[in-house]
Chains A and B, each alone.
Chain A
Amino acid sequence: MANMKDYSNNIIPNWCPGCGHFSIQRALQVAASKLEIPNEKLAIVSGIGCSGRISGYMNSYSFHGIHGRSLPIAQGIKASNRDLTVIAAGGDGDGFAIGLSHTLHAIRRNINMTYIVLNNQIYGLTKGHTSPLSEVGFETKSTPTGSIETPIRPGIVALANGITFLGQGFSGYQEQLVDIIIKAIQHEGFSMVNVFSPCITYNKINTYQWFREHLINLDEEENKKPLNYQEAMNRLIETEGLCTGVIYQDPTSHSYLDKLQPEKKPLSHLNLKIPEEDFNNLINLY
């Protein structure tokens, strides 16, 4: 039985004490250990910002790319070797400002991988600027009189765009988060887990306390059952996105890579040599 510690490289994260990201990192490590993913078969990709550092703390192959592009890099890795478990992680800027288009297209593409959003509704590492997920009226250095733009609701956007697995978690609900991440990794297709992860230094509104008061935990509801697409969308709209649990899963989902490459061979291990006869036949086409 693997231990969560097997997935840590023992580097002390540079997050502020109390940051919600610690809990997400831990949940990811517990999920990996419960699934017994061989360390060398795990690839974590991250973007830029506080969230981007998460890949550097994992005992796995890890790639810390550029701002907003963790999803293209992660999809490239998965395409190169379908036997890897690929997890992309990024903050609200990565996924919903600079990289929003990649988020939407990764959802459409439905490659078998998991995307974890470390959502703190603020740009922490630049020392407190507004994020596309910040609430209206939210005061930051760049919105001194309060944000006047409508926030993006990641869950609603993802579902509207046809996501095949949507989970939402909270750094304060560790056990539920582990459970969601495990289900996300097991999902056949692109899974997104939007995690509310308080920034204790720069976001004085959306605190642990605030989330405990506002979040609706779908797992604690009576007569809990999987939601269909319409019900999932209704719950997200009713709660303004503030709910946790596995919001939606399409049981008929098939990974895009299977459609592209029915042989299911890792590209990284193909024999690259093409016989002379094939070559001559190819040239003959011209």
Chain B
Amino acid sequence: MNNSMSLLIGGVQGEGVISTAENLMKTLSSLGYYCFEKRNFSSRIKGGNSSIVINIGLEKKLWVEDEVSFIVALDQETIDLYHPLLEENGIIFYDSTITPDPTLLKKGLKLHALPISEIAKKNGSLIMKNTSAMGFIGVLLGISEGNLIEVITKKFKKKGQDIIEKNIKVLDHVFQHANENLNEYSNFILNSIQKNKRPLMLGNHGVSLGALMAGCRFVASYPITPASEIMETLGVLLPKYKGIMLQVEDEIAAVNMIIGAAYGGVRSMTATSGPGISLMMEGIGLAGMTETPIVIVNSQRVGPSTGMPTKHEQSDLIGLYFGGHGEYPTIILTPSTVEECFYSTIRAFNLADKYQCPVIILLDLTLSLSNQTIDQLDYSKIEIDRGKIFGASEIQQGYKRFQFTEDHVSTRAIPGTKGGIHHTTGLEHSEIGLPMDTPLNRKKMMEKRMEKTYILQSSNEIIIKENKPTSNNNVLVLTFGSTYGIIKGAIEKNNIPVDFGYFQMIKPLPIKQLENLFAKYDHIIVVENNYSQQLATIIRSEVGYHDKIHSVTKYDGTTFTLGEIITEIGRWV
């Protein structure tokens, strides 16, 4: 019996590997187990190989293990590519329609054929091999047929009773076959757990739900991996709450449309990835210049150019931190878990309204596209604060949209508000919003815009996990995004005596907190997925302490493994 289990499912892309894994994880999450997934897929619709590593446990984990206990291979490529991940005594279960290379057996790998396609074909149709595969994995993990049927019934509800019954028939035969043939494989069975249904979500779902609950009612977006689920999810949810999601002609239209809608008084958002964010830069500058509150989600993938669209990287940070042409304020939030995607998105809308500037939610491909079993989201933490907006009755004579104020934020009047008429322009402008290029006004306006978010530099935005009592408080590991989960896994699992932490907000940089950390620790190791040490570079340039900062980077399109982190951090312990 096991407290945790790690497995890999792989097959031809487009033949349902991802939905097999999702159905399995949904079942497990509904029972009380925590799941965490890592995908490997390619930029094509059908063909090629797609695989998912799933970690299942009684406790929550934010990483997948470097090794898996068993592999379920629906195609030959899965075996070829991933057999090195198999732990000692691990087993490859393969669909009996493929004939694995017998030389693999010489390497000591144990192979076992399962009639995955055969049962599906005989009792339903070939496409139901996903249900069949899920059934076999369920058997191996010790999940009851009833629990799998529950998820299948829910999933195929729209497709009708006939489809549901056929899928159940497939499951029946899988369980029957397993009872007769798989009794020797009882070593993968999970310990039972008290039933507690928890949601299973992608980071992109966390963002979408956060946006909805924050009061976002307008989204304009252009499809792109790995951000598309956000527009897809909100395309379903927004109309239910009288909101609008538009798929527009390009990312330039998307950002400008949300600027228009936000100026019009609606909480508005767009979601994109690298190539899209490059196209949006001029628009983000316009929002900065016109003090328009917009929220932009950027899920990082491998760049530059088209890069590797389905691979992981954290390399848009510097570009967004320093921005496009000219200087303007932005806020960059960097959630690390699905729960944080939800809460950070709500916070993003509040910050955008409070500081009247663009807020960027910086995700990465792994966070966007990894299903995680999450803890219940807390309704009481949802707060909507629209910041300084005039209601019609409050407007006073001589209203100035861009008035100089103590906190540098001026009150907005949205179109339709009587007495609030003003001009808004991307040109430098006066307090009433009309073009003005005098040196004195330019200087004051620059300071107004650039300094309004300064106060956030004093905010504690780095969550520190002290690894007491083993830590000698000498070394701190810092990171951001999904990399946090791997750092946490590596350090906690191996009791490495270091503290670690992650940024929730990178811009404005929490300078005060960083100063305190540099005073406390001798070595700060910054771990990130890019070539040019982007986060470390920002910290060096804003805070200093070059001699104390050590950088660990990886830029091959894959996330760090636990082993790599253990080795890298080990150097400093």
Contacts and interface: CB of A to CB of B under 8 A. Distances in A.
A62 B425 CA distance: 8
13 contacts: A40-B417, A40-B419, A60-B421, A64-B425, A66-B282, A72-B252, A73-B263, A79-B261, A80-B268, A81-B416, A260-B244, A267-B243, A268-B266
Nearest to A81: B264
Nearest to B154: A285
Contacts of B199: 283-284, 286
A39 B252 CA distance: 29
Among B213, B260, B268, chain A packs the most CB atoms within 10 A around the CB of B260
A79 B244 contact: yes
Interface string A66-109: 10010011111111110110000000000000000110110000
B416 A274 contact: no
Given A81-B416, A286-B205, A270 B261 contact: no
Given A61-B421, A62-B423, A79 B263 contact: no
Contact of B217 (A69, A102, A267): A267
A76 B268 contact: yes
B434 A268 contact: no
Nearest to A275: B379
Binding site secondary structure of chain B: mixed
Contacts of B290: 63
A61 B435 CA distance: 15
A11 interface: yes
Interface in B190-212: 199-201, 205, 209, 212
B450 interface: no
B256 A76 contact: yes
Nearest to B197: A284
A265 B266 CA distance: 12
Contact of A105 (B248, B379, B415, B416): B248
B260 A76 contact: yes
Given A261-B242, A267-B218, A273-B384, A84 B264 contact: yes
A41 B424 contact: no
A274 B377 CA distance: 14
B257 A261 contact: no
Contact of B423 (A55, A73, A269): A55
Contacts of B243: 267, 270
A101 B258 CA distance: 17
B421 A77 contact: no
B275 interface: no
A263 B242 CA distance: 7
B319 interface: no
A105 B253 contact: yes
Contacts of A60: 421
Contact of B249 (A38, A77, A101, A279): A101
B24 interface: no
A45 interface: yes
B246 interface: yes
Interface of A: 9, 11, 38-41, 43, 45, 55-56, 59-66, 69, 72-81, 83-84, 101-102, 104-105, 257, 260-261, 263, 265-270, 272-274, 276, 279-280, 282-284, 286
Contacts of B258: 76
B8 interface: no
Among B241, B266, B283, B414, chain A packs the most CB atoms within 10 A around the CB of B266
Contacts of B242: 261, 263, 265, 267, 270
B550 interface: no
Interface string B407-435: 00000001111111111111100000011
Contacts of B424: 62-64
Contact of A268 (B246, B248, B264, B382): B264
B220 interface: yes
Interface string B540-553: 00000000000000
Contacts of A45: 260
Nearest to A69: B256
Chain B interface size, under 10 / 10 to 19 / 20 to 34 / 35 or more: 35 or more
Given A56-B434, A80-B218, A64 B261 contact: no
B250 interface: yes
A40 B421 contact: yes
B421 A66 contact: no
B266 A56 contact: no
Given A75-B257, A272-B384, 14 more contacts: A40-B419, A61-B420, A64-B426, A66-B283, A76-B220, A80-B268, A105-B248, A260-B246, A263-B242, A265-B242, A269-B265, A272-B214, A279-B379, A283-B209
A64 B427 contact: yes
Contacts of A274: 212-213, 241
B259 interface: yes
B267 interface: yes
Contact of A41 (B265, B416, B419): B416
Contacts of B422: 61-62
Interface in B483-541: none
Nearest to A59: B421
A69 B256 CA distance: 7
Nearest to A111: B246
Contacts of B256: 65-66, 69, 72-73, 76
Contacts of A104: 249
A76 B282 contact: no
Interface in B309-346: none
What 5 A-B pairs are tightest by C-beta distance, nearest first?
Answer: A76-B260, A80-B264, A272-B215, A268-B265, A72-B256
A63 B244 contact: no
Contacts of A84: 264, 415-416
A191 B417 CA distance: 25
A63 B434 contact: no
A286 B206 CA distance: 10
B368 to A, nearest CB: 15
B376 interface: yes
Interface string B265-276: 111100000000
Contacts of B417: 40
A61 B426 CA distance: 15
Nearest to A260: B244
Contacts of A72: 220, 248, 252-254, 256-257, 260
A166 B426 CA distance: 30
A268 B414 contact: yes
Contacts of A83: 416
Given A40-B421, A64-B423, A261-B244, A283 B376 contact: yes
Contacts of A38: 418
Nearest to A105: B249
Contacts of A269: 265
A277 to B, nearest CB: 10
Nearest to B250: A101
A173 B380 CA distance: 62
A62 to B, nearest CB: 5
Contacts of A76: 218, 220, 256-264, 268
B73 interface: no
A282 B376 CA distance: 12
B58 interface: no
Contacts of A81: 264-266, 414-416
A43 B423 CA distance: 10
B563 interface: no
B418 A40 contact: yes
A132 B420 CA distance: 38
B244 A66 contact: no
Nearest to A265: B242
B379 A276 contact: yes
A12 to B, nearest CB: 12
